[in-house]
Structure 1
Amino acid sequence: MRSDWLPISAAMLVTGAMALALGRLVGDFGGTSAQTLRGVQADDGRWLAVAVVYFLAAACLTLGLPAVLELLRGGGRYVGGAGVVSLAIGFLGLAGFSMLIVSFRALIVSGSVDTGVLAAATEESGLAIFLRGWLVAILLGELLLAAGLLRAGPLLVPRWIPALLAVHLAAVAVGTALPPEVARLAVVLLAVALAGIGITAARPHRHPSGARS
């Protein structure tokens, strides 16, 4: 018999996936420091809302990871489990990123930074490592999770879920070659895949042996 927490964790995963997609789609102020500065100055409330959405996404996705473990069976348990750990690190980094957004917003609204200062701050080595680190953790977690879900077998996990994760990773890898609008929409693939994992985990399913759980 499955634990009572599983439907809650699965619901958190779905909610977090949708919040992640919303934050990415709404929170794009441009690719340069000047565009970001102008965007925040013109609509600082939107910047704050994006920070809140990202923090909500990070919290819900972290709480939804136990539901992912429900689908990792057999040979996919260890590979997928490593992916879950990597995703957890990435989601914690996303929460930190949301706090960083609030800090930058406060500096910009108060007039404490200009374009040059903002560009220098975002290129500072310590901050750059942090920003890239949690993104790498999420992408590595995706890769390992996709492998784990494939090894779990189609009886537990529909093939389209790891396929979407793989397509999202491919879109990220060639992101610079894609139009900005298409690259930004790639997050929808990740959100749909994570939502699919949550929905699948919440449903009664068969173990590889054939017994229902």
Structure 2
Amino acid sequence: MRLDWIPASAAAFVTGAMALTFGSLLMPAGGSTSDTLQVARTQDGRWLAAAVIFFIAAVALTLGLPAVMSLFERRGRGLAMVGTVVLAVGFLGTAGYSMLIVFFRAIALHGGLRGPRLEDIVHDQGLTIFLYGWIAGFYLGELLLAVALLRARVTPRWVPAALIAHVASIVLNPVLPHAVSSALVLLVAVGFAGVAIEAVTRDNNRRRATPILL
């Protein structure tokens, strides 16, 4: 009996995209470090829920990458491979970010660090490199996947267009309200859902075209 792994992988990809969207919308806004600590202290349940959802998103999106690669049989396969590897780094970074949220919540609730010492930790060079590396990996992988989809022409045009629009929105994020910038992650959810739907559709078409051997 043949294992139906593509539908399962595609379902995980959609689940991860929805979780990523929900986690971004759920994440409370904070300005300075002290403001963020205050938000984490007063809305600790919401903060913890966002961390759990981001971790679920990271795992589900990683499990969905095989379904993404199933779309590329010839054209764009090399670029898609590079894009999925970079995306995997971004997804793993999302899991690390969820753990960082939990750590920050613990600091906020128990008050172990305050003032200059806390500022030094928040602006630590290693932590900054991790955060920017994670963000760069996610956006770069998303862009490479969108370009590969355009080259391979395996999905409708709106799918890579949604992903490219989300990458372009990074320029506007610093000047947009938190609610608006968080809502822009819906573009990722729409694009990833389109990829997953097309992967399942193509898999079903292949199954219909392939005779069943008893």
Unaligned runs of 5+ in 1: none
Which residue is 1:88 aligned to? 88
| Alignment partner of 1:130 is 2:130 | yes
Which residue is 1:99 aligned to? 99
Unaligned runs of 5+ in 2: none
* Distance (whole Å) between structure 2 residues aligned to residue 205 and residue 120 of structure 1: 51
* Distance (whole Å) between structure 1 residues aligned to residue 5 and residue 157 of structure 2: 25
TM-score under structure 1 length normalisation: 0.90
* Distance (whole Å) between structure 2 residues aligned to residue 46 and residue 104 of structure 1: 13
> What amino acid maps onto 2:40 in structure 1?
V
Matches within 5 A, 1:1-213: 4-153=4-153, 156-204=154-202
| Count of residues in correspondence between the two structures | 208
Shift of 1:82: 0.5
* Distance (whole Å) between structure 2 residues aligned to residue 187 and residue 163 of structure 1: 14
* Distance (whole Å) between structure 2 residues aligned to residue 174 and residue 43 of structure 1: 27
Shift of 1:205: 6.3
What's the % identity of the aligned pairs?
48
Question: 1:111-139, CA deviations, whole angstroms, 9 ceiling, x for partnerless residues?
Answer: 11235443322211000000110110011
Q: State the 4+ residue runs in structure 1 displaced beyond 4 angstroms.
A: none
With 196-205 and 186-195 compared, the bigger mean Cα shift is at: 196-205
With 116-125 and 139-148 compared, the bigger mean Cα shift is at: 116-125
Contact 1:80 1:148 in 2 (8 A): yes
Q: Please tell me the root mean square deviation across aligned C-alpha atoms, in Å.
A: 2.1
* Distance (whole Å) between structure 2 residues aligned to residue 206 and residue 147 of structure 1: 25
* Distance (whole Å) between structure 1 residues aligned to residue 17 and residue 66 of structure 2: 15
Contact 1:74 1:151 in 2 (8 A): no
